[in-house]
Structure 1
Amino acid sequence: MTRRLRPVDLGFVGAAPVRLVFAREVSASPEQVFHSLAEDVPGWAQWFSAVTLARATDGGAGREIRLRGGTRFAETVLAAKAPELYAYRVDATNAPGLRALVEEWRLAPQGTGTRVQWTFAADGAAPLRFVLGLARPGLGRAFRDAVTALDRRLAGR
């Protein structure tokens, strides 16, 4: 069953009850990484192993995401400021317990590559907040694996 989440803005990233922040350096440029995040939305399924389908909606103002296991998200892009910031809000999902969710990707030049920082900002019922705390290591591993796969993909172009 799909449920609507609370519509929050980009400020939620700093105020969310649950904030999971992960960072990694890659050899690709900020422009290359930004392009993969914001402009090549279908490409997410090629480098983020949990993603089975990603497509832009509403002329690029939204996204539809499907994950392994059947979780679905309808999202609104909150910021697409090349090459340093890409963020989106989940508007509707079949994931239980969520009240609000924003994901923010910040990109900064690092040497000849990029420092990629992903913030997962969420609100939900107490059991969900507890589970997200327990899930931190797994989400961190998923992020590291995805960004590493993206870097390899970009190096092969």
Structure 2
Amino acid sequence: MANQLRPVGLDFIDTAPVRLVFAQEMAAAPEAVFRALNDDVPGWAEWFSAVTSARSVDDGVGRDVRLRGGGYFRETVIAAKSAEVYAYRVDVTNAPGARAMAEEWRLAPAGGGTRVQWTFAVDGTAVFKGVVRVAKPGLGRAFRGAVTELDRRLAG
């Protein structure tokens, strides 16, 4: 069953009740990383192992994303500043207990490549927030694996 979430803006990334922040460096340039995030939405399924399919909708303003295990997200891009930031909020999901969700990919030059910082920001029921907190190690592994795979893909 799909749940309509509360619409949030970029400020939610810093004010959400639960914020998980992960960072990793990669060899690819910030511009190449941004293009992979923003311009090649279907490509996410090739480098982010949790994603089974992703497609742009609404002339690139939105995204439909499906995850392993059956998760579904209809998202709206809330920031897309080349080589700096790519962020989106979740408008509709089948995740029970979610009330608001947003993610931000912040890019910064680092050592000839890019430092990627991913913030996963959520609000929801107490159970939902607890599950997200417990999932932090797994989300961190998924992020590190995705960044590593994206770096390989961009190098090839």
Is the TM-score greater than 0.5? yes
2:146 — aligned with what? 146
2:93 — aligned with what? 93
Q: Secondary structure at the match of 1:69?
A: helix
1:105 — aligned with what? 105
Q: Secondary structure at the match of 1:119?
A: strand
Aligned residues: 156
1:28 — aligned with what? 28
Question: Which ranges of structure 1 fall in alignment gaps of 5 or more residues?
Answer: none
1:39-64 CA-partner distances (Å, limit 9, x unpaired) = 10000000000101100000000000
Counterparts of 1:136 and 1:94 in 2: how far apart (Å)?
20
Residue 132 of structure 1 and its aligned partner are, at CA, apart by 1.0
1:11-66 CA-partner distances (Å, limit 9, x unpaired) = 00010000000000000000000000011000000000010110000000000000
2:72 — aligned with what? 72
Structure-1-length-normalised TM-score: 0.98
1:53 — aligned with what? 53
Deviant stretches of 4+, over 4 Å: none
RMSD (CA atoms): 0.5
Counterparts of 1:119 and 1:68 in 2: how far apart (Å)?
20
1:40 — aligned with what? 40
Residue 130 of structure 1 and its aligned partner are, at CA, apart by 1.1
Counterparts of 2:89 and 2:14 in 1: how far apart (Å)?
14
Q: Secondary structure at the match of 2:34?
A: helix
Question: Which ranges of structure 2 fall in alignment gaps of 5 or more residues?
Answer: none
Counterparts of 2:127 and 2:74 in 1: how far apart (Å)?
23
**Amino acid in structure 2 at the alignment position of 1:148:** T
Counterparts of 1:74 and 1:131 in 2: how far apart (Å)?
21
